[in-house]
A and B are shown apart, each in its own frame.
Chain A
């Protein structure tokens, strides 16, 4: 469900979002534990099932 994850920096250079394809739809997920997409992504990362690329 979550693929091609990459951190995105905001205008002041801090990691602020994760750009990720969710069921094929390119979306931006905030780094907020209350966001259920973020929670699910971090669970996949902890399980070794997803890697988040560093910001370009």
Chain B
């Protein structure tokens, strides 16, 4: 038997065509009047090809496997999975730390000429420019964010050197991306006086073939450098999400994400770019920003930089709050003392350590209350979990001394 064709009143028709192989196919129409739709439960074994699967109004959509509901999408578009969701990448997708600019241990504003890459404000973000630049915390943000990073040329400046903000990703956090597609996404906007020609923000993802060569040799100086994402965004004064995809070299062992612009003319008050929600993830799709808890993100940042000052207290401030303290009292004269400090988070590598007087804020010093004077500290050893410091002081009948400290194991 050949095809059965039902002609409609005008030009439409339905054709029922049997398969060309042996066997029987049964099409059972639901016992219903009016509009025919698959509202009952016809049993079908085979492949359904469709562009849209739609449930009737006020009805959830369910997908079953082995006769059991596997996925339910309710009428508010919330999906419930009965089993495990197995993704091609993990839930911890974002390789950028502090991409939403929540952690500012070193301070919320700084201006300097960073002729070598310098960490100054938002944690994990490093800055570079041969001319003066300012970075600061801004509350101008797109919906869903609290802070953005404002990177600007100071008002009235006439220098036109490139201004960079970038983040170097530790090798252990990116090595699995070698040979993979990655997507960089971020929110950005131009300041009211952004002077870059064409409102251009350059966007790079660089890789190298030697692990953790660091920021000082970044920006093109890495061994085997490649730039899988080498593009630019045309900013407006409205927050916009930008997304770029590239493929990482199969031998990549280090990676950074770089933003920079070239200012022109004389800077106005807001010759700046604002950036937040930076995410670099495996795959060719930019998923929604992965939002870490503040405490988790602070700990992630402290793998690279930690300090004894409370968050929000400027480094070098005259305060004893949170400082490391040594105390001992006796009848004999004390002429030296020492303190062992342990970190809350173990460091990426043995860190550079600085002590600060709690009274004068001088670096390389400890303040002795017994002598009312600063003395020079010596660090006995710097390890992943802490350091020891000691000093020699004028003879006193007590050790009563404190210092603040910072430890940096940044890349």
Chain A residues near B (Cβ < 8 Å): 1, 8, 10-11, 16-17, 19, 22-23, 25-30, 32, 34-37, 39-40
CB neighbours (8 Å) of B216 from chain A are: 36, 39-40
CB neighbours (8 Å) of A35 from chain B are: 349-352, 409
Interface string of B193-211 (1 = CB under 8 A from A): 0000000000000000000
Among A25, A28, A35, residue most surrounded by chain B Cβ atoms (within 10 Å): A28
CB neighbours (8 Å) of B351 from chain A are: 30, 35
Decide: B364 and A30 in contact? CB cutoff 8 A.
no
A1, A11, A26, A29: the one contacting B364 at CB < 8 Å is A26
Decide: B349 and A17 in contact? CB cutoff 8 A.
no
A–B complex contacts, Cβ < 8 Å, 26 sampled: A1-B115, A1-B116, A10-B380, A10-B381, A11-B390, A16-B379, A16-B380, A17-B379, A23-B118, A25-B363, A26-B354, A26-B365, A28-B352, A28-B353, A28-B378, A28-B382, A29-B382, A30-B350, A34-B212, A35-B349, A35-B351, A35-B409, A36-B215, A36-B411, A37-B352, A40-B214
Report how far A19 CA is from B216 CA in the complex, Å: 20
Decide: B354 and A16 in contact? CB cutoff 8 A.
no
Decide: B379 and A26 in contact? CB cutoff 8 A.
no
Decide: A34 and B350 in contact? CB cutoff 8 A.
yes
Interface string of B109-123 (1 = CB under 8 A from A): 000000110100000
9 smallest A-B Cβ distances: which pairs?
A: A26-B364, A34-B349, A28-B379, A30-B350, A36-B214, A32-B350, A30-B382, A27-B354, A26-B363
Report how far A25 CA is from B214 CA in the complex, Å: 21
CB neighbours (8 Å) of B271 from chain A are: none
Question: Which residue of A is nearest B408, CB measured?
Answer: A37
CB neighbours (8 Å) of B352 from chain A are: 22, 27-30, 35, 37
B410 within 8 Å of A by Cβ?
A: yes
CB neighbours (8 Å) of B363 from chain A are: 25-27
Known: A11-B390, A27-B364. 8 other contacts (CB 8 A): A8-B378, A10-B380, A16-B381, A26-B363, A27-B363, A30-B382, A35-B352, A36-B215
| A-facing residues in B347-387 (Cβ within 8 Å) | 348-354, 363-365, 378-383, 387
Report how far A37 CA is from B381 CA in the complex, Å: 15
Question: Which residue of B is nearest A28, CB measured?
Answer: B379
Question: Which residue of B is nearest A26, CB measured?
Answer: B364
CB neighbours (8 Å) of B409 from chain A are: 35
Question: Which residue of B is nearest A29, CB measured?
Answer: B352
CB neighbours (8 Å) of A40 from chain B are: 116, 214, 216
Interface string of B319-353 (1 = CB under 8 A from A): 00000000000000000000000000000111111
Report how far A34 CA is from B252 CA in the complex, Å: 18
CB neighbours (8 Å) of A30 from chain B are: 350-352, 381-383
Given known contacts A8-B379, A17-B382, A19-B364, A39 and B350 CB-to-CB distance under 8 angstroms: no
Report how far A34 CA is from B348 CA in the complex, Å: 9
Decide: B364 and A17 in contact? CB cutoff 8 A.
no
Smallest CB separation, A39 vs chain B (Å): 7
Smallest CB separation, B384 vs chain A (Å): 10
CB neighbours (8 Å) of A39 from chain B are: 214, 216
CB neighbours (8 Å) of A16 from chain B are: 379-381
CB neighbours (8 Å) of B214 from chain A are: 36, 39-40
CB neighbours (8 Å) of A34 from chain B are: 212, 348-350
